[in-house]
Amino acid sequence: MELRQAGPAALALALAAALLALSAPPASAQEAEEAQSQAVRPDATLTRPSNPRLPPRDHFLNAVQAARSAARSPKLQEELRNHDHVRRETFAKGPGRWQVSWFRGRCETARIAWDAAADHARRCGETWLVPEILVWTASALQLGPEPVRPAIARCTALVEETREHLMSQAFIRRIERSAPVAVKGSSRLYP
The model's pLDDT over 15-69, given as tens digits with 9 standing for 90+, comes to 445 444 444 444 555 554 544 444 556 666 778 888 889 999 889 999 999 999 9
Residue 182: is its pLDDT beyond 60?
Answer: no
Residues 6+ apart with CB under 8 A from 117: 129, 133
C-alpha dihedral over 117, 145, 48, 183, to 10 degrees? -120
Q: Where are the beta strands (DSSP E) in 77-179?
A: 87-93, 98-103
Q: How many residues does the chain have?
A: 191
Rounded to two decimals, the pTM is 0.49
Say whether 101 sits in a helix, a strand or coil.
strand
- Identify which of 128, 142, 55, 118 has the alpha carbon closest to the alpha carbon of residue 92: 55
Give the containing element (helix H, strand E) for 149. helix 148-161
- The C-alpha atoms of residue 184 and residue 67 are separated, in whole angstroms, by 21
**Taking a C-beta distance cutoff of 8 angstroms, is the pair 46, 92 a contact?**
yes
Query: Could you tell me how many helices (H) and strands (E) the chain has, helices first?
Result: 10, 3
pLDDT tens digit sequence for 77-126: 888 888 777 778 888 888 888 988 887 677 888 889 999 999 999 999 99
Residue 5 has pLDDT above 90, yes or no: no
